[in-house]
Copies of this chain bind each other. A is one copy, B any other.
Amino acid sequence: MSARLSTAYTLTVGEVAAESGVAPSAVRFYEQHGVIRAERTSGDQRRFSADAACRIRVAKVAQRVGLTVREIAEVFAALPGNPAPEDWGRVAETLIREAEQRTAALRAYLSEMRSGERLCDL
A interface residues with partner B (beta carbon < 8 Å): 4-5, 7-8, 49-51, 54-55, 57-58, 61-66, 82-85, 88-89, 92, 95-96, 99-100, 102-103, 105-107, 109-111, 113-114, 117, 119-122
Are A106 and B61 in touch, CB under 8 angstroms?
yes
B121-A85 in contact (CB<8A):
yes
Is chain A's binding surface mostly helix, strand, loop or mixed?
helix
Chain B minimum-CB-distance residue to A8: B122
Question: How many whole Å from A86's CB to the nearest CB in chain B?
Answer: 10
A30 to chain B, nearest CB (A): 15
> Which 3 pairs between the two chains have the least Cβ-Cβ distance?
A54-B120, A66-B66, A92-B110
